[in-house]
Amino acid sequence: MLPPHSPAPPSQPQGQPPRPIGHYENFPVASWLCPAPLRAPIAAIYHFARTADDLADEGDASTEQRLADLQAYRAALESACAGQVAANGRWAWVFEPLRATIAAHHLPAKLLHALLDAFVQDIEKTRDGSGYANEAALLDYCQRSANPVGRLLLHLYGVADAQSLALSDGICSALQLINFWQDPSRDLPRARCYFPQDGCAQWNLTPGDLQNPAQAQRADALVAHCAHSARSLMERSAALVHRVPGRAGWELRLVVQGGLRILDKVQALGGQVLHTRPRLRPWDAPLLLWRALWM
C-alpha cells in the first residue's frame, strides 16, 4: 500500500465553502482494489464521515459552534435518508452523492447517525475534560465511531451474517484503537486523552504526566499494554478477510496489515509515541503485500 489512496472529492460548486482536502489516511479508501461499481458509494460514505469529523475536530470553532454544525449536518442527513434535498445547501457536495447511495443501496440510516453520535460524544468529552474509565468504555465508543463504517461496507458487499458482522466490528474497533495509540502526540495537546483511566492508574500516571520525560518508563509500559490489546483484537478478527469476496477481501487484507504495521511502529517507539507520530511509508508496501499474501 503506497501512500494510501483517498477518493478524490467531487468538483466544488461555486459559492460553497471550501472543503477539507489533503488528509493523511493510514488505510486505503476506495482504492483500485475496490470493486469499480462500489467506488462511488464508498467515496460518498467516506466524504460524509470525513466532513463530519472535520466539523467536530478541525479549525478553531467553539464547542457550541461545532455542536450546532453537527446538528445541522444531522438534519441534512435526515433529508438525504428521506430522499429529499436538504434545505441547507452548505454540504450539497456531500449529501447529493450520499442521497443517491442511500437510495440505490438502501444504507441503514442508523449506522450513519451512529457516526454523528460519536463525533458529538468526542466534542462533549473534550469540553468536559472527561476521559474513558477503561477499555470497555473505549470499545463502547468504537461501536459508534468505527464499527458502523465496517458494517456499511459489508452491506455494500452483500455480507450480512452475524459472524462476519462481529469480525468486522473487531477489525474496526482495533483500527480505532490503533489510531488512538498512533496519535497521542496530536491528541494530548488538544485535551483529548484516550488512554484508559484504569491503565493510567496501574502505572501511577495522570494525563498530565504522559508527555513528561521523567515518566518515560511508566509511559512505555502503558503504551505497550494498549498496543498489545489492540493487536490481540485485530488478530482475533482478521479471519474476516476470508469471508469478504474478491478484490474487496484483498483490500481488507491490506487494511489489517496496515494497522498491524502501525502497531509495530508504536511498539518500537514505546513512550516516544507521545511525542512522535508513526506513519506508514512507501517502503512499508512490500512488507504489507507479503504479509497480506500469507493471511
Q: How many CB atoms lie within 10 A of CB 188?
A: 18
Scanning the structure block, which residue is given the C-alpha cell 479549525? 59
Q: What is the CATH number of domain 131-295?
A: 1.10.600.10
**So what's the pLDDT on residue 62?**
94
**Closest-CA residue to 109 (of 77, 141, 147):** 77
Per-residue pLDDT of the chain (295 residues), as tens digits, is 223 334 444 444 433 444 443 444 544 444 556 778 898 999 999 999 999 999 998 888 999 999 999 999 999 999 999 999 877 789 999 999 999 999 999 999 999 999 999 999 999 999 998 899 999 999 999 999 999 999 999 999 999 999 999 999 999 999 999 999 999 999 999 889 999 999 999 999 988 888 888 888 999 999 999 999 999 999 999 999 999 988 889 989 999 999 999 999 999 998 889 999 999 999 999 999 999 999 9
* Nearest one of 193, 191, 192, 154 to 171, comparing CA atoms: 154
* The predicted structure's pLDDT at residue 86: 78
Q: Any idea where the domains of the chain sit in the sequence?
A: 36-129, 131-295
The pTM (predicted TM-score) of the whole model is 0.88
